[in-house]
Amino acid sequence: MAVRDTGAEQLIKDTAKQIFFAEGKRNATTQDIADAAGVTRTLVNYYFRSKDILFKQVFDEAMLDMRNKFDAVLAADLPFRKKLEGFIDMFYAEVTAFPYKESFMITEINSHDFDIDKKEISPALRIFIKDIQLEMEKGTIKKMRPANFMLNLFSLLAYPLITRPLFKKLFELSDIEFERLLHDRKKMILEMLLC
Amino acid sequence: MAVRDTGAEQLIKDTAKQIFFAEGKRNATTQDIADAAGVTRTLVNYYFRSKDILFKQVFDEAMLDMRNKFDAVLAADLPFRKKLEGFIDMFYAEVTAFPYKESFMITEINSHDFDIDKKEISPALRIFIKDIQLEMEKGTIKKMRPANFMLNLFSLLAYPLITRPLFKKLFELSDIEFERLLHDRKKMILEMLLC
Amino acid sequence: MAVRDTGAEQLIKDTAKQIFFAEGKRNATTQDIADAAGVTRTLVNYYFRSKDILFKQVFDEAMLDMRNKFDAVLAADLPFRKKLEGFIDMFYAEVTAFPYKESFMITEINSHDFDIDKKEISPALRIFIKDIQLEMEKGTIKKMRPANFMLNLFSLLAYPLITRPLFKKLFELSDIEFERLLHDRKKMILEMLLC
Amino acid sequence: MAVRDTGAEQLIKDTAKQIFFAEGKRNATTQDIADAAGVTRTLVNYYFRSKDILFKQVFDEAMLDMRNKFDAVLAADLPFRKKLEGFIDMFYAEVTAFPYKESFMITEINSHDFDIDKKEISPALRIFIKDIQLEMEKGTIKKMRPANFMLNLFSLLAYPLITRPLFKKLFELSDIEFERLLHDRKKMILEMLLC
DNA sequence: TATGAATGAGGTTTCATTCAT
DNA sequence: CATGAATGAAACCTCATTCAT
């Protein structure tokens, strides 16, 4: 009697995640995913009924995953500056593991049927927004809507990563040079946000 | 003697541009484009041989178009601050006309066979880099690699636009509230970059 | 428990063989073949991925098939003359069943990417070449390269069959008259080769 | 005022002949032919209305051409053996110039709507048949139907040429070796036919 | 749980042909 | 005599999905 493996479902999702986010193969077919996972194409369908469902599940999991990581950092019991530093480090680590995830999400976010099912603002985010307002009162950061502070943070972090190929060409940079550039940014972003 | 019509080719490209960049229909088929342009599908093929070629041509034209607009602003004979303001205005105008163009380009840029055929850094960009270095010396902007200054500029401008749906959800903002937020950013971006 | 049908793949190949070789419909489409086999066109594609692959498989099978029949006759333990007679009979039988096979193969052979994957001369052919050399030494056949003897054999057998329509016209022969002509050839060919 | 060229029609036919018979590109499109002839595709259509008509005209011309060459040799005032030699030489010369012509004709001949419009047996052929019968009476060639003598002649000449790629593989022959083989055949064919 | 067989829908491309100048 | 533009028909191919074990 065979041992129930049962890991197939998660294996397929992980493989899809890898293909989409790490390898950047946006148009991978179910066949491609099945092949990479070492299962038959129909098994993919057995578990997920349709490609769209697999798609959505992988996407949602990735979103949730990222949100959990965000929350962990944002709700941590640390001084504001440390939180920011932790956030930046976490973000860069994510991008190193899944270089295409940002770009992929951008696409999804802009697709016509984008709809994440969330009820309310995450508690961690609520805490962080409080932090931001406090810092503004203390004068360590400029006065602005908290949403704009968040937008600035994300912008300065994420945008260079998703347009990396373009800017490499534009400024004639090697991979190493671009890495150096990114490295410089960490301190710089802190300064821009906190000055 | 009738004038040769011949506008069909450009018409098809313009229609494709509209569909891709203004309506965000990334997966539009040749049929969709033909229908929207009021021509038969095979005519599309007559001019462009294949969908990929149409795709590439439209993309390249859009890139060139944008670069020309950049160059016009960056090389203008204006004080640095005015240039920045002009750039920001131009960028927002572009995005208003073609809301999905950024997102579309992100995707292409990250696709595996991305390769723009450029020989050297654009003269206008070279001028602007000079401007940046001059401003640094004057102390009106912080010292950093010029490339990082450009990255900051683009990041703060573009990222909120391409992640708009997500942040609207995240902060529970209406369209009007988000517009207000964007409006605030113009002044704020100038301050962040120039402080 | 029902028996797996699974005969579909072979059925499609056999049908294609029939259409190409027996009916001479060189330009049959996948649809034609699917219709004749009583399956849907996409099933043809399911098994063979592309028309070319089906094409190649059918062709290769036909080649192998014929080679096996050749080998059986050429390697048989019979006196040389009997072998020749057997070969001629076999050849005519083949042609009766698949009148267009020869012509089809001529075309393929002359196509630009013709390449059968054979490693070495078939053992049966090697035996037959030995036979030929022996007969030459015995003086029952004229001295010549064995390859030329083979060429003569095939020429005299096959050529009239593949140019049948032309010669029928040229000599104003009815089908029956042409059959008579072919019938006479059997003895004549033996005489020409063995004299 | 431009010089009337007018050679375009013949140029197209000659180009088609070249492509079909010399290069063996059976499936060349009108575009291919137009390109090779240095004219636009629509010009091909202007002259020939349809691809089939061009096809047929080229084919018919090639047939007529060959028949004229046959006739010239067969009706010449020469001894029988000389005629045969002349015929063989002429045939080989033709094949050298247009290696794929034979194979192409085989295909056409076997196509379902093959129909050359001839009224009667060519006078030259009639003369040659007389010759054959005379030689039979003289005992220089074996007794058989004249049609079979002709079939033998053509078979031994043409078949090795149209199956050349196959036999090269089968007997592991280089191009040079195959040429040598063909060279030997000239004398051998005469012997086989005349013994 | 897992799979091979089969299908349908939709997309792309090729090509000969016709139109209008 | 010559051509660029446009069209129609048909072929081909890919893919997600369903069926029947």
A159 CB-near residues (< 8 Å, 6+ apart): B151, B154, B155, B158, B159
Which residue segments constitute the domains of chain C, with CATH numbers given?
1-49 (1.10.10), 55-193 (1.10.357.10)
The predicted pLDDT at position D169 comes to 86
Angle at A150 between CA A144 and CA A155, to 5 degrees: 115
Chain C, chain D: beta-carbon pairs less than 8 Å apart: 130
Is D185 an 8 Å CB contact of chain C? yes
Q: How far is the CA of D49 from the C1' of E17 (A)?
A: 8
Residue spans of chain A under pLDDT 70: 1-6, 116-120
Q: Does any strand E atom come closer than 7 Å to the Cβ of A38?
A: no
Is C166 an 8 Å CB contact of chain D? yes
Give me the mean pLDDT over the D158-171 stretch.
90
For residue A98, which of A21, A192, A151, A17 has the smallest C-alpha distance? A21
The total of other beta-carbon atoms located within 10 Å of residue D107's CB is: 19
The predicted pLDDT at position A154 comes to 95
The predicted pLDDT at position B136 comes to 95
Mutate to test the interface with A, among B100, B109, B112, B189 (most CBs of A within 10 A): B109
- What 3-state class would DSSP assign to B172? coil
Give me the mean pLDDT over the C126-151 stretch.
94
D122 CB-near residues (< 8 Å, 6+ apart): D67, D70, D71
Residue D124 pLDDT > 60: yes
Place of tokens 């032309």: C166
The predicted pLDDT at position B6 comes to 58
Q: What is the mean pLDDT of chain A?
A: 89
- Which backbone phi and psi does B10 adopt, to 5 degrees? -65, -35
Q: How far is the CA of B182 from the C1' of E13 (A)?
A: 45
Instruction: Give CA–CA dist D94/D154, Å, rounded.
Output: 14
Fill in the DSSP letter of residue C19. Answer: I
Q: Residue B62 corresponds to which amino acid? A: A
Q: What is the CA B23 to chain-centroid distance, rounded?
A: 15
Instruction: Give CA–CA dist B99/A5, Å, rounded.
Output: 47
Contact call for C109 and D173, based on CB within 8 A: no
Place of tokens 């329509």: C165
Instruction: Give CA–CA dist D92/D183, Å, rounded.
Output: 10
Instruction: Report yes or no on whether pTM surpasses 0.85.
Output: yes
Would you say D163 and C109 are in contact if contact means Cβ atoms under 8 Å apart? yes
pLDDT tens-digit map of C13-42: 999 999 999 998 888 999 999 999 999 999
Contact call for A152 and B156, based on CB within 8 A: yes
Q: Does any strand E atom come closer than 7 Å to the Cβ of B25?
A: no
pLDDT tens-digit map of D10-20: 999 999 999 99
Q: In chain C, which residues have their Cβ closer than 8 Å to the Cβ of D150? A: 167, 171
Give me the mean pLDDT over the D29-52 stretch.
91
Q: Residue B117: which pLDDT band, with cuts at 50, 70 and 90?
A: low
Query: Nucleotides on strand E with an atom closer than 7 A to protein CB?
Result: 1-21
The total of other beta-carbon atoms located within 10 Å of residue D132's CB is: 21
Q: Which residue has the higher pLDDT, B112 or D182?
A: D182
The predicted pLDDT at position B16 comes to 93
Q: How far is the CA of C7 from the C1' of F16 (A)?
A: 25
Would you say A99 and B112 are in contact if contact means Cβ atoms under 8 Å apart? no
Mutate to test the interface with A, among B104, B110, B178 (most CBs of A within 10 A): B110
Q: Which of D145, D165, D192 sits opposite C184 (nearest CB)?
A: D145
- For residue D110, what is the nearest residue in chain C, using CA coordinates? C165
The predicted pLDDT at position D2 comes to 37
Contact call for C160 and D158, based on CB within 8 A: no
Instruction: Give CA–CA dist C158/D67, Å, rounded.
Output: 22
Q: Residue C6: which pLDDT band, with cuts at 50, 70 and 90?
A: low
Would you say C168 and D118 are in contact if contact means Cβ atoms under 8 Å apart? no
- Please report, for residues B50, C34, C58, C99, C162, the alpha-carbon distance to residue C14 in angstroms, rounded to integers and kept in the order given: 36, 11, 8, 15, 22
The predicted pLDDT at position B34 comes to 92
- For residue C173, what is the nearest residue in chain D, using CA coordinates? D147
Nucleotide nearest to C49 (CA to C1'): F13
Contact call for C24 and D106, based on CB within 8 A: no
The predicted pLDDT at position A152 comes to 96
Give me the DSSP letters along chain D: -PPP--THHHHHHHHHHIIIIIS--TT--HHHHHHHHTS-HHHHHHHHSSHHHHHHHHHHHHHHHHHHHHHHHHTSSS-HHHHHHHHHHHHHHHHHH-TTHHHHHHHHHHSTT------S--HHHHHHHHHHHHHHHHTSS----HHHHHHHHHHHHHHHHHTHHHHHHHTT--HHHHHHHHHHHHHHHHHHHH-
| Closest residue (Cα, C1') to F13 | C50
CA atoms within 13 A on the CB side of B145: 15
Place of tokens 């092949």: A35
- For residue D27, what is the nearest residue in chain C, using CA coordinates? C111
Which 3-state string (H, E, C) describes B107-165?
HHHHCCCCCCCCCCCCHHHHHHHHHHHHHHHHCCCCCCCHHHHHHHHHHHHHHHHHCHH
The predicted pLDDT at position D122 comes to 82
Instruction: Give CA–CA dist A179/A164, Å, rounded.
Output: 10
- For residue A182, what is the nearest residue in chain B, using CA coordinates? B148
Q: In chain B, which residues have their Cβ closer than 8 Å to the Cβ of A156? A: 152, 155-156
Q: In chain D, which residues have their Cβ closer than 8 Å to the Cβ of C168? A: none
The predicted pLDDT at position A112 comes to 77
Nucleotide nearest to C52 (CA to C1'): F12
For chain D, the chains sharing at least 3 beta-carbon pairs closer than 8 angstroms are C
Place of tokens 């605030």: B184
Q: Residue C170: which pLDDT band, with cuts at 50, 70 and 90?
A: confident
pLDDT tens-digit map of B80-101: 999 999 999 999 999 989 999 9
pLDDT tens-digit map of B143-182: 999 999 999 999 999 999 999 988 998 888 999 999 999 9
Instruction: Give CA–CA dist C134/A85, Å, rounded.
Output: 93
With an 8 Å CB cutoff and a minimum of 3 pairs, decide whether chains D and B touch.
Answer: no
Of D residues 21-80, those with CB within 7 angstroms of nucleic strand E are 27, 29-31, 41-42, 45, 49-52
Cβ under 8 Å to D: C residues 66-95: none
For chain A, the chains sharing at least 3 beta-carbon pairs closer than 8 angstroms are B
The predicted pLDDT at position C4 comes to 39
Would you say B71 and B128 are in contact if contact means Cβ atoms under 8 Å apart? no
Fill in the DSSP letter of residue C49. Answer: S
Q: Does any strand E atom come closer than 7 Å to the Cβ of B49?
A: yes
Mutate to test the interface with D, among C151, C174, C180 (most CBs of D within 10 A): C151
Q: Which of C110, C120, C173 sits opposite D103 (nearest CB)?
A: C110
Residue D3 pLDDT > 50: no
**Least Cα separation, residue A95 to chain B (angstroms):** 14
Instruction: Give CA–CA dist D148/D142, Å, rounded.
Output: 11
Lowest-pLDDT range of A95-99, B1-5, B59-63: B1-5
Cβ under 8 Å to A: B residues 13-52: 24, 26
The predicted pLDDT at position A145 comes to 93
Torsion B78-B80-B83-B85 (CA) sign: negative
Query: B129 is written with which tokens?
Result: 């880099």
Torsion A108-A113-A118-A119 (CA) sign: positive
Cβ under 8 Å to A: B residues 120-149: 120-121, 125, 142, 144-145, 147-148
pLDDT tens-digit map of B19-45: 999 998 988 999 999 999 999 999 998
Query: B66 is written with which tokens?
Result: 């944008």
Q: What is the CA D89 to chain-centroid distance, rounded?
A: 13
Contact call for A145 and B173, based on CB within 8 A: no
Would you say C155 and D155 are in contact if contact means Cβ atoms under 8 Å apart? yes
Q: Does any strand E atom come closer than 7 Å to the Cβ of B41?
A: yes
Mutate to test the interface with C, among D151, D182, D189, D192 (most CBs of C within 10 A): D151
Nucleotide nearest to C2 (CA to C1'): F21
Instruction: Give CA–CA dist D51/D57, Å, rounded.
Output: 10
Instruction: Give CA–CA dist A79/B58, Å, rounded.
Output: 49
Cα radius of gyration rounded to whole Å, chain D: 20
Query: A84 is written with which tokens?
Result: 């920011």
Residue C107 pLDDT > 90: no
> Angle formed by the axes of helices D8-17 and D30-37, to 10°?
120
Nucleotide nearest to B28 (CA to C1'): E11
Query: Nucleotides on strand F with an atom closer than 7 A to protein CB?
Result: 1-21
Contact call for C165 and D195, based on CB within 8 A: no
